[in-house]
A and B are shown apart, each in its own frame.
Chain A
Amino acid sequence: MSLSRMLSKAALLAAAALLAVSATGAANAQSATEIQLSYKDKKFDPAEISAPANTPIVIKLKNLDAKAMEFESKTLKVEKVVAASSDATINVRAQKPGRYEFFDEYNEKVARGALVIK
């Protein structure tokens, strides 16, 4: 069998496997922990939030400032622009226990907070 035929077969198989797994994956999504967070004058409120380990997390962020901000966390792999005076939903995948810092990328030094996973 030629290399290209082998590769086409491999690609097809991978695609089929993907479809099969995504079909079953949607059914067993865990229920997520929802956390409310607001942002005003370069401060997160509350500055520290917590959530249980190994469950997905949903952060509902209200930007009360008249400026856009960018919610970012390097350790949580989150980067999301939140327009002036508006709300955003941020999905965070299930995490191991630990302290995960987040910040407003536009004001990285002052506007900081942390998510503590217990």
Chain B
Amino acid sequence: MIAALIIVFREVFEAGLIIGIVLAVTRTVRHRNQWIGGGVLVGVLAACLVAVFAGALSDLFAGMGQELFNAAILTIAVVMLTWHNVWMARHGSEMAGELRAAGQAVVEGSKSLLALAVVVGVAVLREGSEVVLFLYGVVAARSDTGWDVALGGLVGLALGALVTLLTYFGLVRIPTRALFTTTTILIALLAAGMAAQAAAFLEKANWLTALDNVVWDSGWLLSDSSILGKALHTLIGYTDQPTAMQLVVYVTILAVTLVLMRLYGAPVKQAAAARG
């Protein structure tokens, strides 16, 4: 039971963190629970589909289907997160301020919610398919330990939900003004980390061979398979053996986010004047 608990928890941990952040980001937005819940649900269904077709998916692109699929969905999540940050730079003040309930803000708000729901769906899908395959294997074996493993899996899932709650309540304790800045930075780092992960998958598929030298090895200090290492891996893209390409991609995404936020984010004063 403990083994099953650990396997399931390890897989849902990352999704749990991401859902917690997204919930904190959207805490003032109406109907956010339906959107985020929908994202989770679609993610679970997609995970089941991916698990069923795992063999076929693997065989695509000369056996590199899994890696390319992961790189593709991570890229989608990076685009969504970046878009959300840029969008918030423009509309954040309206949303947080007295105009929160204004019709336009709500309509616009749901656009941003869709982007974040996609991010949640992707997070659930990525790790979920491995959980599905694991649990299915146990159930298919019809051994006496089936129930024991199922129970372990459920507890692991519950612990994942606990990670979500802790992340959420940890973040919403931050005062509103500081919270906006905090989540903006968190999301930018999350996106950069995911982009670097996507690059790592392309490297594993041999689609990306440039700059594949490992720049440093900090495994002795903090292994990225330890709990703290794993949390940092999800949150800021920490990896103990990054390649030059992963670092370049990471920095590029951060720079692009910053540039886009400055280019498209309307200065608060001007926006207020335009509204008035």
Contact = CB atoms under 8 A, between A and B. Distances in A.
B15 to A, nearest CB: 16
B54 to A, nearest CB: 4
B192 to A, nearest CB: 12
Interface of A: 3-4, 7-8, 10-11, 14-15, 17-18, 21-22, 24-26, 29, 66-68, 70, 74, 77-78, 80-84, 86-89, 91, 93, 105-106, 108-109
A6 to B, nearest CB: 9
B24 to A, nearest CB: 27
Given A24-B210, A89-B64, 15 more contacts: A4-B258, A7-B258, A11-B252, A11-B255, A17-B248, A18-B211, A18-B245, A21-B211, A22-B209, A25-B211, A25-B212, A29-B209, A83-B58, A86-B55, A89-B63
Count class of interface residues, chain B: 35 or more
B40 to A, nearest CB: 21
A15 B252 contact: yes
B184 interface: no
A93 B212 contact: yes
A18 B210 contact: yes
A7 B255 contact: yes
12 contacts: A4-B258, A4-B259, A7-B255, A14-B255, A18-B211, A25-B210, A67-B140, A68-B137, A77-B241, A89-B62, A91-B64, A106-B137
B267 to A, nearest CB: 12
Interface in B170-201: 200
Interface string B130-163: 1001101100110000000000000000000000
A86 B137 CA distance: 14
Main SS at interface, chain B: helix
Nearest to B209: A25
A66 B140 contact: yes
Main SS at interface, chain A: mixed
A29 B220 CA distance: 30
Residue from B59, B225, B252 whose CB has the most chain A CB atoms within 10 Å: B252
A81 B141 CA distance: 18
B81 to A, nearest CB: 17
Contact of A4 (B54, B251, B263): B263
Given A81-B66, A81-B133, A91-B204, A22 B210 contact: yes
B205 interface: yes
Contacts of A93: 203, 212
A24 B210 CA distance: 8
A22 B208 contact: yes
B271 interface: no
Contact of A21 (B7, B51, B210, B262): B210
